[in-house]
A and B are shown apart, each in its own frame.
Chain A
Amino acid sequence: MGVRVLIVDDALFMRNMLKDIFVKAGHEVVGEAANGEEAISRYAELKPDLVTMDIVMPIKSGIEALSEIRSADPEACVVMCSALGQDALVVEAVQAGAKDFIVKPFKEERVLDVVRRVLGN
């Protein structure tokens, strides 16, 4: 069974790359969002199985969005997408309830591995 994914990133490039990885693996990308605020409303409307969430985004950051999503749905499964050198932000995100994180540049294997693991739990 494929997983219903919501991809959140302000860069279209990143969204497309992730989308290709997920679709190729048989998952369904049910929606995309380009900032934190959009992410919150898309999440409420789509109720995806998994969210990939960029951290640094305009309007509302990924961590703020994560907190709001988790307070509305404590079961929400959110994986953070970070760049190298954002360690402190990742720690903050983990404390805010992120299930795991992937680091750019993404490796296909690594992304799918994380998906399997966080949803397997």
Chain B
Amino acid sequence: MDMSKYQELFLSETREHLRRMSQLTIALEQNPSDREGIDALFREAHSIKGMAASMGYERTTALSHHLEDFLDSFRSSGSVPEAAVDRLLAGIDLLEGLLGSIEAGQPEQDVDAFIAAGTDLLGEEPATESESEPGAAPEAVGSTEKVDPAAGSGRSFKVMFELAENTPAPAARALLALEALKTLGRIDSCRPTEEEMKQGFAVRQLAVWLQSEHAEEVIREKVGAMPDIARISFEADRRQEDRPRLDEDVRTVRVRTALLDKFVNLTGEMITNRYMLQSATRSRDWDDVETGLNLLSRLVTDLHYHVLQVRMTPLDGITSNLPRLVRDQARKCGKQVKLEITGGEVELDRAILEDLADPLVHMVRNAIDHGIEEEGTIRVKAWREKDLALIEVADDGRGIDPSSVRKRLSEKNLLTSAQIKALTERELFQWICYPGFSTAAEVTETSGRGVGMDVVKAAVENLGGMLEIHSKRDEGSRFLMKMPLSIAIMKVLLVECAGQTLGIPVTRVLRTLDIRSEEVQLSGRQRIYPLDDEVIPLYPLNELLHLPTNGAAVVHLVITEVQGRKVGLIVERLTGQLEAFVKAMAKPLNRVAGISGATITGEGKIIFILDPQLLFEAEADQFSLSDVEESI
């Protein structure tokens, strides 16, 4: 029977099981004698074993079987010792690695060492060996270092050996070469396999996929010095590069059958609608044409809504790996960190989710590294508000120190001291996202310095969202991402300016209002307007876009936010809202500053979509918000 057609399903389901295993394991670390948790974990391992065995993946089967046995021992003892958690996580990582190999069409890695290390452990009374040395090195469990993912954190490459002609006992030589490589890094797989070599397979060439932190020269020196090795060559491991392409090809979505039925029904109705319209046009019955068109419009709206549903994925997809991340990171920093996730069921367009995954990880890491001091809680919360999905990463740590941000700004000569003094806290925090800016005194391994928040902000804004930063000394920080639910279809506010209609994404609009022209005040040459205890600078959109201006009695304002401060755009008319299918600009129009894309209306008119942030960045030389601040 050809099993290859099941591979994709096997991979996606097994990955889901592994994700749950990882979550359950971390939960058990908090609550080691949770019977249900142990049982659930056991069942996950059992499911993987069954699937892997059906597919004929021997090592994946062996490893999942081993984990199942391992877990079974805790079912009788009733609790999972601390040391076992590390081992379970290492096993889960190893299984992930096996899936990666299977996906890349490579042979499965050797798991014997891991299983052997655990078999010793299985014989022992699992409850006794953990509490002996709390906080002791987790490596103490068997020889898990052989499979410790950290050991393989170096580069991946393929090492090719050629044995000299007439090499005596070539299989033994190849085994020795492999042993030598094992001391230098982690072997992902090799060809011929270790098993084949042990059976005396006549080896002429040996290909090893190795993860190692050592330079090629070191490996060459250590292994190449062996007798009978005629040649060693290195290749970058192409599997990683292949992987995304592979993903691209096989990317799939699971759709509820109810939704598919809906599509079939809608298609049926549209076919009926087509006949109706055809016959109405033939008989020139304009009333029927109009009825038909109304029906068509309803059907298209319905179809559109349901197609978007297919693309909607719950946030769970990108938050499920956070518990593991927090655990590992907190342990590395020597901190006690609790993670609470709420709203994992909130759905967003999968394209948005994919692009949010890294920023989310980054913010959580930041919170552990820089926010939380010794002990604290990180809350990741998501909820819906009208057409927006809000995702917040909050910690109860030390908060951002405004004075250190101010100090940094002046150290880096980013602003003059007068400008720095004038910044509100809200504006000040936005500077954290300035490329190359960081207040962390020390560079930590993961959060690094300077890279990060600028990337987070850029990712959020590229998706049409907004990032807000709130922080209070000793109370903690909140990073709030306001995201649109879908990127393909965007709600835009239509404005008119020198006879042109332009669109502004509603996610970027705080509010609109009309004022009389005499209400506009002047501060120097800058137009300003007092709005809710705040003086906001006004900019005619015509001027920003270098279009002709004309004075009007009523001034229409679109209030937006740039670099954390409110700004008013003066437009000639507010003409309405549109659900726009926005396409990115192609070359060379993508060079036009301030324009993020375009859409075509029903009448065939092109409407450009403005990005206020980009617009002001492009004008930064002429308009500096901070200059304005000074003049007010």
Residues of A within 8 A of B (CB): 82, 84, 86-88, 90-91, 93-95, 99-101, 103, 110, 113-114, 117, 121
Chain A residues with CB under 8 Å of B169's CB are 82, 86-87, 90-91, 101, 103
CA distance A2 to B167 in the complex (A): 29
A67 to chain B, nearest CB (A): 16
Question: Could you list 6 further interchain pairs (A-B, Cβ under 8 angstroms) beyond the known A82-B169, A91-B198?
Answer: A91-B199, A94-B175, A94-B179, A103-B168, A103-B169, A121-B222
A90 to chain B, nearest CB (A): 4
CA distance A121 to B170 in the complex (A): 21
Say whether, besides A90-B169, A114-B227, A100 and B176 are in contact (CB < 8 Å).
yes
Q: Are B225 and A91 in contact (CB under 8 A)?
A: no
Can you give 5 A-B contacts (C-beta < 8 A)? Answer: A91-B171, A91-B172, A91-B175, A99-B176, A101-B172
CA distance A100 to B227 in the complex (A): 10
Give the dominant DSSP class at A's interface. Answer: helix
- Tell me the chain B residues, 156-213 only, with Cβ under 8 Å from chain A: 168-172, 175-176, 179-180, 183, 197-200
A80 to chain B, nearest CB (A): 9
A13 to chain B, nearest CB (A): 20
Chain B residues with CB under 8 Å of A95's CB are 175, 198
Residues of B within 8 A of A (CB): 168-172, 175-176, 179-180, 183, 197-200, 222, 225-227
Say whether, besides A87-B200, A88-B200, A93 and B172 are in contact (CB < 8 Å).
yes
CA distance A6 to B200 in the complex (A): 28
CA distance A86 to B227 in the complex (A): 18
A117 closest partner in B (C-beta): B225
Say whether, besides A91-B169, A94-B175, A113 and B198 are in contact (CB < 8 Å).
no
Chain B residues with CB under 8 Å of A117's CB are 225-226
B182 to chain A, nearest CB (A): 12
Chain B residues with CB under 8 Å of A121's CB are 180, 183, 222
CA distance A17 to B198 in the complex (A): 31
Residue among A93, A94, A114 facing the most chain B CB atoms (10 A cut-off): A94
Say whether, besides A86-B169, A88-B200, A103-B169, A113 and B227 are in contact (CB < 8 Å).
yes
Q: Are B168 and A84 in contact (CB under 8 A)?
A: yes
A104 closest partner in B (C-beta): B168
Chain B residues with CB under 8 Å of A110's CB are 227
B171 closest partner in A (C-beta): A91
A10 to chain B, nearest CB (A): 20
CA distance A99 to B180 in the complex (A): 10
A88 closest partner in B (C-beta): B200
Q: Are A87 and B227 in contact (CB under 8 A)?
A: no
Say whether, besides A86-B169, A103-B168, A103-B169, A91 and B200 are in contact (CB < 8 Å).
yes
Q: Are A87 and B171 in contact (CB under 8 A)?
A: yes
CA distance A87 to B199 in the complex (A): 10
B183 to chain A, nearest CB (A): 8
B530 to chain A, nearest CB (A): 78
Chain B residues with CB under 8 Å of A94's CB are 172, 175-176, 179
Chain B residues with CB under 8 Å of A100's CB are 176, 226
A120 closest partner in B (C-beta): B225
CA distance A8 to B92 in the complex (A): 46
CA distance A84 to B227 in the complex (A): 16
B166 closest partner in A (C-beta): A84
Q: Are B172 and A90 in contact (CB under 8 A)?
A: yes
CA distance A95 to B172 in the complex (A): 9
B168 closest partner in A (C-beta): A103
CA distance A85 to B197 in the complex (A): 16
Chain A residues with CB under 8 Å of B168's CB are 82, 84, 87, 90, 103
B167 closest partner in A (C-beta): A103
CA distance A72 to B609 in the complex (A): 77
Chain A residues with CB under 8 Å of B222's CB are 121
Chain B residues with CB under 8 Å of A90's CB are 168-169, 171-172
A77 to chain B, nearest CB (A): 13
Chain B residues with CB under 8 Å of A91's CB are 169, 171-172, 175, 197-200
Q: Which 8 A-B pairs have the closest CB atoms?
A: A90-B169, A90-B172, A103-B168, A87-B169, A94-B172, A91-B172, A94-B175, A88-B200
Chain A residues with CB under 8 Å of B197's CB are 91
CA distance A113 to B183 in the complex (A): 20
CA distance A9 to B7 in the complex (A): 54
CA distance A114 to B168 in the complex (A): 14
A44 to chain B, nearest CB (A): 25
